[in-house]
Amino acid sequence: MNTIVCLAFILLALMLLVGGRKGARSFIALFLNFGVVIVTLFFLMDPAVDPVILTLIACTVISAVNLFYINEINSKTVLAFVSTLLTIAILLFLIYWIAKRSMIQGFSEEEADEISIFSLLIGVDFVKIAVSMIIMSTIGAITDVAIAISSPAREVFLHHPDISRKELFQSGMRIGRDILGSDTNTLFFAFIGGYMALLIWFRDLDYSIGQIVNSKVFGGEMLIIFSAGIGIALIIPIAAGLNAWWLTRQKTGKGREI
């Protein structure tokens, strides 16, 4: 516990040093998001609650905290928030179809010994639980890319107010292409780091490559990575298009102040 507290103080000190007031807000946002997740898990225990709807509400709150609380309410955060919601809405249908077709719901063979003493007849739709898990795993990356597109687009427009809508959109797409590769690889290595022990266990059990790839736990994590990658790829043109459309409206007097 003392180690965790020390690391938390080091993180806070660095965030204050680098980010100042915004760094302090970012640190507080970590605990706010943790609270949202805890409340979500509490309500997920109720079989009468739809896990997907609850997760969408939780993701909306998390996005609002990450965007509005940390960066305040302005055009870039509003556009990033709208882009995030549109991307999640599109991605939801794909995730639900993938989760149902891939049969990743429930527990894997590797987890059978741990849950053998419990009853699985708990009245919960495990397909929806799998969908909720994937959505919750993608929201952070999607929100990150949304603000990473909106903020530079706003700066480009402020320094070049005569830029055309097409040029601003292309600028956003160029920024997005640089983000796409690095963020997707970040998701992959986060999986490798989090499941290194599992991969070593697979090796000790003499699993073949085919058995590893077709195992439920490995397949489920890869689907999360691919879903998050698809979300990142989707939000780049959505965020770039929305920012280009909204910001260039300033020249015609139809938009609000940025």
To the nearest 10 degrees (0 to 180), the angle between helices 165-194 and 126-159 is: 140
Report residue 116's pLDDT band, with 50, 70 and 90 as the boundaries.
Answer: low
- Give the integer Cα–Cα distance in Å for 82 and 63: 10
Q: Is the pLDDT of residue 142 over 60?
A: yes
Cβ atoms of 139 and 60 closer than 8 Å: no
- pTM above the 0.75 mark? yes
Question: What contacts 76, CB < 8 A, 6 or more positions away?
Answer: 147, 150, 151, 153, 154, 243
Predicted local confidence at residue 81, as pLDDT? 93
Percent over 90 (pLDDT), the chain: 5
Predicted local confidence at residue 114, as pLDDT? 61
- Give the integer Cα–Cα distance in Å for 120 and 111: 13
pLDDT top residue among 76 and 101 = 76
- Give the integer Cα–Cα distance in Å for 16 and 25: 9
Q: How far is CA 137 from CA 33, 71, 192, in A?
A: 13, 22, 15
Predicted local confidence at residue 55, as pLDDT? 87
Per-residue pLDDT, averaged over 165-190, amounts to 82
**In 3-state terms, what secondary structure has residue 106?**
coil
Rounded to the nearest integer, the mean pLDDT of the chain is: 81
Residue 177's nearest CA partner among 134, 240, 83 is 240
Q: pLDDT per residue over 99-115, tens digit each?
A: 777 766 666 665 566 66
